[in-house]
């Protein structure tokens, strides 16, 4: 079996709801986010996932990802990994895209980066480290992390530059699966929110 990587974005927070860039600020889950994390867990413990026996689980150490992991029922199996932390937004931490555009018209994080934070090259290197780990053994992996780092991992899994991540949105508490098609890295599913329906 070729290894797959399952990507779980953390549940809703006040900052993700308002569109604020939430990098290293440790913002807690909202009640909506906790509920979504439990629903995600229920889905991962039903067919076809069946609790993902044998999967290796890692989580960002930030509380919104770690709590999502725990509420989904994978806390005891998870290893905390700093590589899965969100992009360090530097001077743009806590700002919305509109607020940034007001001072820097035309700005796009995937092309222009952020001042006083992580560079595009640094984020690419972290995403590449996750991809290399996921492909390093004959087992699936499950990660709980954040919107921009998970989108970065998606782009790099496909062998594309970081800028491609601008084209693959990712909602809170979503589930995505990266795998293989005809021997090439592929997206099996992306931004799946089916567990939140109803």
One digit per residue, the tens of pLDDT, for the chain of length 198 reads 579 999 999 999 999 989 899 999 999 999 999 999 999 999 999 999 999 999 999 999 999 999 999 999 999 999 999 999 999 999 999 999 999 999 999 999 999 999 999 999 999 999 999 999 999 989 999 999 999 999 999 999 999 999 999 999 999 999 999 999 999 999 999 999 999 986
Does the annotation list 88 as a binding residue? yes
Domain 5-196 has CATH 3.40.50.1240: yes
- Return left, alpha or beta for 137; rule: phi > 0 is left, psi -120 to 50 is alpha, else beta: beta
Q: How do 175-181 and 5-9 pair as beta strands? A: antiparallel
- Give the Cα separation of 97 and 57 in Å (integer): 32
11 assigned binding-site residue? no
Q: Which residues are catalytic?
A: 10, 86
Q: Has 139 been labeled as part of a binding site?
A: no
Of 144, 136, 41, the C-alpha closest to 86 is 144
Is 82 marked as a binding-site residue? no
Predicted TM-score of the model (pTM): 0.96
């Amino acid at each position: 079996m070729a290894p797959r990587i399952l990507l779980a974005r953390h549940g809703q927070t006040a900052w993700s709801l308002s569109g604020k860039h939430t990098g290293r600020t440790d913002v807690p889950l909202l009640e909506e986010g906790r509920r979504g994390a439990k629903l995600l867990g229920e889905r991962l413990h039903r067919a076809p996932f069946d609790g993902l026996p044998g999967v290796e689980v890692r989580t960002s150490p930030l509380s919104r990802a770690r709590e999502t992991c725990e509420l989904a029922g994978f806390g005891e199996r998870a290893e905390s990994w700093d590589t899965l932390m969100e992009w360090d937004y530097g001077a743009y931490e806590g700002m919305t895209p509109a607020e940034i555009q007001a001072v820097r018209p035309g700005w796009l994080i995937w092309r222009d980066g952020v001042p006083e934070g992580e560079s595009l090259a640094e984020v690419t290197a972290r995403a590449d480290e996750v991809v290399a780990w996921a492909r390093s053994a004959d087992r699936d992996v499950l990660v709980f992390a954040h919107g921009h780092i998970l989108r970065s991992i998606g782009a790099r899994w496909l062998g594309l530059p970081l800028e491609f991540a601008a084209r693959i949105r990712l909602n809170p508490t979503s589930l995505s699966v990266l795998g293989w098609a005809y021997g090439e890295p592929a997206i099996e599913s992306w931004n799946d929110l089916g567990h939140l329906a109803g």
